[in-house]
Amino acid sequence: MTAPATTTAPATTARRWIATIDSHTAGHPTRVVTGGLPVLSGDSVRARRDDFRTRFDALRTFLLHEPRGHAAMVGVVMTESRVADFGAFFLGSYTYLEMCGHATIGLAVTLDHMGLIGPAEAAETAFTLEVPAGVITVRVSRQAGRVAAVTFENVPARVAASGVPVSAGGVAVCADVAWGGNWYGLVPAAEAGIALEPAGVSQAMATGAVLKARLNAMIAAGAVDGVHEPVDSILFYDTQGRGAGLVSRQLVVLEANKFDRSPCGTGSSARLAQLVARGELAPGETIRTRNILGVDFTATPVAIAGEPGSIRPHIAGLAHITGEHRFVLAGGDPLPDGFLCR
């Protein structure tokens, strides 16, 4: 009997291997690249990020998009720094991030897992990290040899515009625009009809996407005084409690199919700036920012001498390692760069 003909090409030698360590921070994933990337050019982390984007963007989609990732995946590329202990830049499924808080926490836990930031018996280890947004300080606290918390002292945060009327998709809200390492449109959840719970995510993404598009169109047209850059995300929030006992329940929407599972580090930073600007929180008071899964970050605004309109956010949370991976691109793969469906 003659063997049936096959239409499947035989497997050929793999032509790409990239090693990563994955973690999640309050539910949101971080994928730290530990090997397999090409040498990058540039005198700063920002310059090397730009070189990566120009020459190797297909590696971003290979790592973050399906079938190896998904819309919410965030990557971290480590690189050397001339001004800090470490350098890193952040890969998003759609774009590159100036700063990413949950991924910074994930990176710190990954560095500890690799034994790169001090002995396990040390109660605390601190290091500086150069990211595209600037240089930040990261502190890793341990109990009984295990990481108990990671705190990062973020770049300065500020409110650029308050009470901006935005109407889109049958929803009319007033948004504040704030910088926390990325740009946010801050919107009261109740005003937008958003339920801050897992069952409300689909509606939140749809509503957040149209509000983001409308707000960015207004910014591009020069209709939002004091704001010249587009917002990266919409942060829906609900304020519970007052003062140091305050809980900010929140959900960050990045795209119509992408939301932050964590309380969001840079979003929490923007929220702190908003609360201080409104007089609802004083510098030095610590609050909790809570995701829709009921997991908290703690967040503290610190005054910056000579900069009355800005605060330095201190954000604390915890990440957990989920796996160590060696991703392969096999010869003949019909989707070598991955894919992403909106």
Q: Which residues are catalytic?
A: 100, 264
Q: What element of type H or E holds 178?
A: strand 171-179
Separation of alpha carbons 195 and 292, rounded Å: 9
Amino acid, single-letter form, for residue 69: G
Residue 311 in tokens? 């605060």
Residues 6+ apart with CB under 8 A from 115: none
Minimal CA–CA distance to 152: which of 135, 173, 172?
135
Local structure of 213: helix, strand or coil: helix
Local structure of 33: helix, strand or coil: strand
- Cβ distance 111 to 129 under 8 Å? no
∠ Cα 82 78 43 (to 5°):
35
The DSSP letter of residue 9 is P
∠ Cα 31 35 39 (to 5°):
110
- Cβ distance 305 to 58 under 8 Å? no
